[in-house]
Structure 1
Amino acid sequence: MNRLLKVCTAVVCFGLVNVAFAQAKISKPGVYSGYAKEIADGWQRFSQYVAVRDGTKLAVDFYRPTNKGQLVTTPLPLIWQFTPYRRALYDASGKVISRQAEALLALTKYGYVIAVGDTRGKGASFGFRKAMHGQQEEDDSYDLTEWFAAQPWSSGKVGMYGGSYNGGTVAGAVTTMPPHLKAVFFGITDFNMYDGWIRGGIMRYSVGADNPVSDDLLTVPVDEDKDKSMLKAAVAQHHQNPLMNPMMIALPFRDGWSDVSDSYFWSEVSYSNYLAQIKKSGVAAYMYGGWADFLRRDTVLSYVNWPNAKKMLMGPWAHGSTTGFDFATEHLRWFDYHLKGIENGINIEPPIYHYVVNAPADKAWRSAKDWPLAEAKATNWFLQRETLSANAPTELEAKDELKVVYGIKADVEPLREAPVTKGASEWDQKGLTWTSAPLTAAVEVTGHPLAQLWLACSAEDSDVFVVLEDVDEAGNSQLVADGRLRLSLRATHQAPYNFLNLPWRRSYKTDEHKLTPGQPVKVTIDLMPTATVFKQGHRIRLALTGSQGRTNYQQRETAPMLTVLRDATHVSYLSLPLQP
């Protein structure tokens, strides 16, 4: 009898342990359990045209949760994305796939509708666009948001998500203040489009700004378009889309007027100019980026300037990558709180979660309250003869000269994964370099490096590129951060928003000041933010060139001579934000 009692007690206790384990609640970055209830085991895709305010029909797909083959009829919150990259395609077997929707389709089982729309003039949508991220596109996002909210299967609470261009459509939507848009999750996009695309006055090229119109014919048509006649009619209108790269090349100054967009383009498409509207919207934002992403400065500027509830995630990633982090789970945590009212603690944990490159694995991910980190200490590394030194120069005359080399192909915009360089980089081989002695202890750089340089040029203008590199014991140079500047646009101004005390350049046409050949000028160039450990035995290197891959740099008939002065009167240095 006693033995039977012991067995029964053990079974009951074991059952209680299992129940307790099943109910355990965990909510932290990338990890989430015990809060979200599963209500579905599948989804069903629907596709149709929605007419916006001017009558233009835009193609949308929405994925509604199903349970045992039946649609869940309870009104649910909806999360959607607005894209120019075709909302749905066919794979090699003829199956419909969506690169945009698939990232969050797992959320359907937790009671969310996921939707994707083709922007005007793209995919299967009708019309044409005057400009990417223009006011018309933003108005379209407002209309679709409110249409989604009004559907009988919608709870009326709407969120948006997306990265890169699709992150820009998210920010643009918020500026229009749709009443039913409550929270967004976006990143790797521009805060101010001029500074993102013409950083330092030098334009970058985009690989995706002007995809061929013929690509749109590969888009999956909406459900009612059985013979693809509507798709063909829509794509025929896309030929009216202007090319974006040539238009932007024609606008080197921030205050340039575009006859193509019929606007002051850079002002119209930069959501940094609409912070008052964003504040009025009340929309909460989770922003993400990566330390190898070419728009990471914009990500941190978006975070520090966002006037409502906010969070920021910065990983070790290049543009478009989130390897090693459960991105869908983090979306679920965010939207559970803001669209469903689930108290999962995401609103009270430290708002910043960031990775430190090269840190020990168990210490690589960190939480922080503010950006930049309060404990960072700016430390100067002075340019000496081919070296970076802790000691300020004492020489009365010292300089380094570079005959600019055009045609450098190395660029600072890796897609998906950051490349690994073997040996000296192309910047090292074709530019000037200053390199520290091997580090006697590891050094952590987290924040925004700055390069103060005294420069002279044999021509009236030149573009200057600086690259911060981590050089290992074998001499392999790895890109850490970069900065750039067109010297004729060196004048600095008070930024109209929080620019983190970095040098901000208004870059109006009237701000262009040509150089006097041979006369030195002092410039401060901010490099992209980073969080990187330079390991013991490694060296810190600053490289300077006059050209760079994937940029519209100046090319003169005769390449100019650049002179870097580094004497006691003309002190040039690299400033690094070091962590204790």
Structure 2
Amino acid sequence: MTISVQRTGPGPLSPDATQYMVRMRDGVHLATDVYLPAGDIEPGPTVLTRLPYDKCGEYTFMPRIAAYFTARGYRMVVQDVRGKFRSEGETLLFVNEAYDGYDTLDWVINQPWSDGTVGMWGDSYYGYTQWAAASTGHPALKAMVPRVTGTRLGELPVPVPGRRTHDVEMSVHRFYPLSMFHDRDILDWAIDWTRRPLAAQVEEFFTAVGSRSASYDLWFPHPVSLRRFPAGSPFDAPAVPVLMTIGWWDNCAPWQWSDHRELQRRPGWARNEYLLLEAIDHENTSHFEPGVPASVDRMAARYLDPAIEFFDVFLRGADADIPRVRWQLANTGDPTLRSSPVWPPAAAYPLVWRLADAGETASGPAGGTLEPVSAAAAAPAGGVAVWTHDAADPVPSPVTDPFAFLREFPDERHLAERSDVLVFTAAPVTGPLDLAGPIRLDAVIGSDGPEMDLFVRLTDVAPDGATRLVARGQQTVLDPGDAFAVTIDLGHTGYRLPAGHALRLTLASSDAPEFVPAPGTGEHRWTAAETIPNQQRLHLGATRLTCTVLPC
């Protein structure tokens, strides 16, 4: 099979910027664009963004973002990270961002247009580079706005001695080093996720492009733990005011919620954390504009104004009160940001459902039932629901691009028709039910296989049967045996279930190709050439769904 590769190199330099090759401590030079406010010759605060997606490219529209910041009096510095596009050095994920960030901050504050104060801004990997810079404790970094990201962004899930659970491997985990971090350019190509072994296709790709990916080779077949933060954990560094933007439908949100929990455990960071919880996906598509691709010209206000407000306070000393938590309640038609001193809101409380009708769960959309109970629960419903996981015929992922989930925001009712998907549906609500906070499933599962993936989706079923995602979570369980207790974190949401709608819970053992299916043999998912079906079990009597809701 021939591997087809499309290579995208650096875009043209912006006429609004001056490019500098900034020297790092080891002599490597990084390509760095500087945008200055028109006619502003006095030193002032700077916004720094370090990214791997081309500082001049169309994907991240940095020249237009820079124009938005400079029009409001900020200097903006945008840099290609080491080994990407116009920057020198080895192309390698994660490991150089801490000290490269420190050295870039040093360079910025020594320029005549800088007043010595810097804020960092950006999404995804260029949110991660903010945490890397923060880990060094550079005194010039006064505020940061990491969006849809996390300190563990892209962390490869590997077994931990003594633990029988870990995250399920996303397809992008190993594919990212083969596309975005193979070399200086972006390489677009496709893996056939049905053709095994997957690793053989990677070798075909290396032959096609005539080079290997250092990041991939460090992770395969025996992963090396990459030292993301050589200066120490960012949470051990001096606290910096941080505005955390998290999307309800962001597929990378679990990493950012993990950071939030860590920040709340550290008093210094907890005092400096602000949350902006939006009804968006990873690519900034809004739930209030489903199907509309993100465009900086159209979304500039919601995308950039919160950062400017934040920087005005923490870089310029503006006298403004920024709420600790701002959040959107999706499915209301009203994108207004609500505010709260804490998350979840103080009035929120847990609402618990048990699962019933084991024999009906895999019989189609009607399925089993979700029955609300008190947290103390009366006599549990019993029974064992059984389904078969077959990696040769996995449950399909409902969207083609999980990073832009809301561009498609599909009707998922067809998934409930599969015999390898368990279905539990509650009675329609008689009045609006507002979900606002964390969601989890405490379950007891089993399998005749050596490992088991459990995918859990909570959906909204409209009166016409249309079924759309509210929240989801997943885990891999090693050696599950007949009965293993597991908690599935479905993340957080702010979502209104309208009157007449019903909650539906579905459970499965695959979601492909977004996640690499377990082959059923216990072999490495990328080297397994064959698959075998596994019989999976869910013990209903010991399983509970807990949502956080607001009073009616």
- TM bracket (short chain): 0.7 to 0.9
Distance 2:414 2:232 in 1: 35
Amino acid at match of 2:50: F
How far is 1:83 from its partner?
0.8
The equivalent of 1:388 in structure 2 is 370
Secondary structure of residue in 2 paired with 1:448:
strand
How far is 1:411 from its partner?
5.3
Alpha-carbon contact 1:77-1:158 (below 8 Å) kept:
yes
Distance 1:239 1:169 in 2: 29
Alpha-carbon contact 1:192-1:271 (below 8 Å) kept:
no
Secondary structure of residue in 2 paired with 1:268:
coil
How far is 1:103 from its partner?
2.0
User: Residues 213 and 50 of structure 1: is their aligned pair in 2 closer, same or farther, counting only changes over 3 Å?
Assistant: same
Amino acid at match of 1:472: A
- 1:410 aligned residue (397, 402, 405): 397
Secondary structure of residue in 1 paired with 2:434:
strand
Moved more, 179-188 or 291-300: 291-300
Matches within 5 A, 1:46-195: 46-67=18-39, 72-89=40-57, 99-130=61-92, 132-134=93-95, 136-193=96-153
How far is 1:482 from its partner?
1.1
- 1:536 aligned residue (484, 490, 499): 499
- 2:532 aligned residue (555, 558, 569): 558
Distance 2:260 2:485 in 1: 30
User: Residues 64 and 352 of structure 1: is their aligned pair in 2 closer, same or farther, counting only changes over 3 Å?
Assistant: same
- 2:415 aligned residue (413, 426, 430): 426
The equivalent of 1:320 in structure 2 is 283
- 2:273 aligned residue (310, 324, 346): 310
How far is 1:298 from its partner?
3.0
Alpha-carbon contact 1:75-1:154 (below 8 Å) kept:
yes
Alpha-carbon contact 2:459-2:467 (below 8 Å) kept:
yes
Amino acid at match of 2:438: H
Secondary structure of residue in 2 paired with 1:537:
coil
Amino acid at match of 1:204: M
User: Residues 532 and 270 of structure 1: is their aligned pair in 2 closer, same or farther, counting only changes over 3 Å?
Assistant: farther
The equivalent of 1:577 in structure 2 is 548
How far is 1:459 from its partner?
1.9
Amino acid at match of 1:402: W
Amino acid at match of 1:554: A
Secondary structure of residue in 1 paired with 2:151:
coil
Alpha-carbon contact 1:104-1:328 (below 8 Å) kept:
no
The equivalent of 1:480 in structure 2 is 470
- 2:325 aligned residue (333, 349, 352): 352
What CA deviation, in whole Å up to 9, does each residue of 1:319-350 have, x standing for no partner? 0216565322222211122222222x1xx342
The equivalent of 2:252 in structure 1 is 295
What CA deviation, in whole Å up to 9, does each residue of 1:384-433 have, x standing for no partner? 01110125685785121101143222158733351332361436534011
What CA deviation, in whole Å up to 9, does each residue of 1:344-385 have, x standing for no partner? x1xx342110001113527x5311111233322112111001
User: Residues 326 and 51 of structure 1: is their aligned pair in 2 closer, same or farther, counting only changes over 3 Å?
Assistant: same
Q: Number of residues paired by the alignment?
A: 461
User: Residues 168 and 239 of structure 1: is their aligned pair in 2 closer, same or farther, counting only changes over 3 Å?
Assistant: farther
Distance 2:372 2:17 in 1: 62
The equivalent of 1:35 in structure 2 is none
The equivalent of 1:398 in structure 2 is 383
The equivalent of 1:210 in structure 2 is 178
Distance 2:480 2:404 in 1: 39
Alpha-carbon contact 2:21-2:31 (below 8 Å) kept:
yes
User: Residues 138 and 456 of structure 1: is their aligned pair in 2 closer, same or farther, counting only changes over 3 Å?
Assistant: same
Distance 2:186 2:218 in 1: 26
How far is 1:213 from its partner?
7.4
Distance 2:439 2:492 in 1: 7
**Unaligned segments of structure 2, at least 5 residues:** 1-13, 159-164, 188-208, 264-268, 287-298, 358-367, 521-530
Q: Does 1:462 align with 2:452?
A: yes
Alpha-carbon contact 1:321-1:417 (below 8 Å) kept:
no
Alpha-carbon contact 1:128-1:240 (below 8 Å) kept:
no
Secondary structure of residue in 2 paired with 1:426:
helix
Alpha-carbon contact 1:205-1:245 (below 8 Å) kept:
no
Alpha-carbon contact 1:318-1:417 (below 8 Å) kept:
yes
Matches within 5 A, 1:195-344: 200-206=166-172, 208-211=176-179, 216=184, 242-244=213-215, 247-248=218-219, 250=221, 258=224, 264-265=225-226, 268=228, 273-277=233-237, 280=238, 282-306=239-263, 307=269, 309-321=272-284, 323=286, 325-343=301-319
Secondary structure of residue in 2 paired with 1:575:
strand
Amino acid at match of 1:380: V
Amino acid at match of 1:124: R
Amino acid at match of 1:558: I
Distance 2:73 2:470 in 1: 41
Moved more, 159-168 or 183-192: 183-192
What CA deviation, in whole Å up to 9, does each residue of 1:157-187 have, x standing for no partner? 1111111011000111111111211111112
User: Residues 250 and 399 of structure 1: is their aligned pair in 2 closer, same or farther, counting only changes over 3 Å?
Assistant: same
Amino acid at match of 1:563: R
How far is 1:553 from its partner?
3.0
User: Residues 246 and 188 of structure 1: is their aligned pair in 2 closer, same or farther, counting only changes over 3 Å?
Assistant: farther
Distance 1:194 1:272 in 2: 19
Distance 1:547 1:271 in 2: 38
Secondary structure of residue in 2 paired with 1:415:
helix
Amino acid at match of 2:252: L
Distance 1:214 1:555 in 2: 27
Amino acid at match of 1:416: A
Alpha-carbon contact 1:427-1:544 (below 8 Å) kept:
no
User: Residues 436 and 213 of structure 1: is their aligned pair in 2 closer, same or farther, counting only changes over 3 Å?
Assistant: closer
Secondary structure of residue in 1 paired with 2:487:
strand
Amino acid at match of 1:420: F
The equivalent of 1:499 in structure 2 is none
Distance 1:565 1:515 in 2: 13
CA RMSD of aligned residues (A): 3.1
The equivalent of 2:361 in structure 1 is none
User: Residues 170 and 578 of structure 1: is their aligned pair in 2 closer, same or farther, counting only changes over 3 Å?
Assistant: same
How far is 1:196 from its partner?
8.3
The equivalent of 1:515 in structure 2 is 480
Alpha-carbon contact 1:465-1:482 (below 8 Å) kept:
yes
Distance 2:385 2:503 in 1: 18
What CA deviation, in whole Å up to 9, does each residue of 1:516-553 have, x standing for no partner? 3xx22222211121111111111111101111121123
Distance 1:384 1:196 in 2: 36
Secondary structure of residue in 2 paired with 1:102:
helix
**Unaligned segments of structure 1, at least 5 residues:** 1-41, 92-96, 220-237, 252-256, 259-263, 489-513
Distance 1:194 1:326 in 2: 26
Distance 2:231 2:433 in 1: 36
Distance 1:483 1:405 in 2: 20
How far is 1:88 from its partner?
1.2
Secondary structure of residue in 2 paired with 1:410:
coil
TM-score calculated relative to the size of structure 1: 0.73
Amino acid at match of 1:335: F
User: Residues 271 and 245 of structure 1: is their aligned pair in 2 closer, same or farther, counting only changes over 3 Å?
Assistant: farther
Alpha-carbon contact 2:23-2:29 (below 8 Å) kept:
yes
Identity, % of aligned pairs?
23
User: Residues 98 and 369 of structure 1: is their aligned pair in 2 closer, same or farther, counting only changes over 3 Å?
Assistant: closer
